[in-house]
Structure 1
Amino acid sequence: MATMPQGLGARFLPAALKRVSLAPSGAVGANEEKAMDLKGKVALVTGGTGGIGEAIARALAAAGADVAVSYVGEAARAGELVEALRIAGRRSHAVQLDQRDPNSIDACVTAVTGHFGRLDILINNAAWNVGIPFKELDALTPEIWDRIQETNTRGPFLLARAFAAELRRHKAGRVVNIASIAGLVPGGSSIAYAVSKAGLIHLTHCLAVTLAPEVTVNCIAPGLVEGTRMADRVPEAMRQSARAQSVLGRTGSADDIAELVVAYCRMESVTGQTIVVDGGNPMAMH
């Protein structure tokens, strides 16, 4: 039996992706066919070097999709992920992207469509934030406010607009926006971040109307996602509080979010929806 190569790329591969890469020819059953039902699709995951972005990229690849990932300053990490996906038999490509810059977005469109020949799935995952307590209004400067809005709300809009024609072309496009529970419930790391994610949730509604019927547009609103770099910056007392407030006694995971992204990409009649992934905090239940 073939063995997986060891090294930088192999450490990114989840069990599901390894099973796909090692399945013998002609031995694909019903479960494997379901697992591979995104075969032939091409996805772009922005912010692909973060914990959530990596999990989404791996899950889409395990479902059969070829995957492009964008990054800002972590070219080596993006390259490792691309290597892992290629080892698993997927086409993959890394693209440097500043989603605040329309010229950078245009270059991203050219790079992705030039490399793959199409785009079917856009995952707006990249975001930026500075932790500023709500009460510290003077610390939230106009410059910080503008950068957060430009990255977290304006950027996903510009990307969806730039890729709209390509997403519509095969009449089965998908956009999934990664927002935050802070966009639904006042709280989180800063007022600017909460407002940007509330805007992204409503942008989901508006794009669902605009891009129908060729494209579905949905959203995920995570709470604290442990195991990510952002969560690691949160004090342990706050992590414990998040677990205690959830009815399941735990917070969401990057893998939970990734599985939901794949589910959205598979579904044909769901659009304009936001699902919270937070372990069941009653404050966010609607």
Structure 2
Amino acid sequence: MRCRNLTVSNTRTVLLTPEIYVNQNVYEQLVDLLLEALRGAHFEDVTEFLEEVIEALTMDEEVRTFGEVMVPVFDILLGRIKDLDLCQILLYTYLDMLLYFTKQKAIAKVFAGYIQPKDPSDGQMYQKTLLGAILNISCLLKTPGVVENHGYFLNPSRSSPQEIKVQESNIHQFMAQFHEKIYQMLKNLLQLSPALPAAAVAYSKPRLATFWYYAKVELAPPTPAEIPRAIDSMKAMVRSFQSGRLAQLTVREALRNGLVATEVLMWFYIGEIIGKGGLIGYNV
């Protein structure tokens, strides 16, 4: 027990003061240790030890916060994962590591903050986060050894139809595993980090308010005064079609007439959906 406590204490010191270990990257060593444990049969033993280290790190954050300890680890994972392909087994080992991180409460809290983009108003910034790098992995294979090294449009595949079917089957199997792990990661975050749903609600409120402001106008049922005008517009469109004047309409007029026709048509669709009490069996 004394030996174990000493090992935990030394590991804590290593992670808090990595600068004193010249020519060593202690965070990469931690990632590699977890990677080796996942490939072997002693991952539970390693995580049990890591739990004790995490407890020691979070008890005293005077030298360095737990977040400052974990961010370099996430940086390493980001650098490694963004260059992997869908059908590389190594990708799923890293995803298993992230699954553990999202289950561990202290790490999950840091991870939830780490995956936030620096500028939420810039959509491209999401792609540069760790979660964005994972979601950006393409289903188009380009891994030598798994499938011939082709570039699709630049260097099309010369595989036979039978070989292509095998490749497609492999892609579906990997995608199913990929989606399941992402689902579990997000589920873990939502369960262990109450701040995430609150942040999602706070983010959505102004956008839902804007949507509802326009929806109350655009999606409201037609008033009795609007119905005759819409019918007159439809009659005018029919007369234009019959007289051949339809071809003389400007793009603006044609677009306006098309929107009017679509809106009237939607009245009947929405009315029928409401009348049936659901979308089931309805060809939308």
Structure 2 length as normaliser, TM-score? 0.29
TM-score (norm 1): 0.28
Greater fraction of residues in helix:
2
1 or 2 for the larger relative contact order (CA 8 Å, sep ≥6)? 1
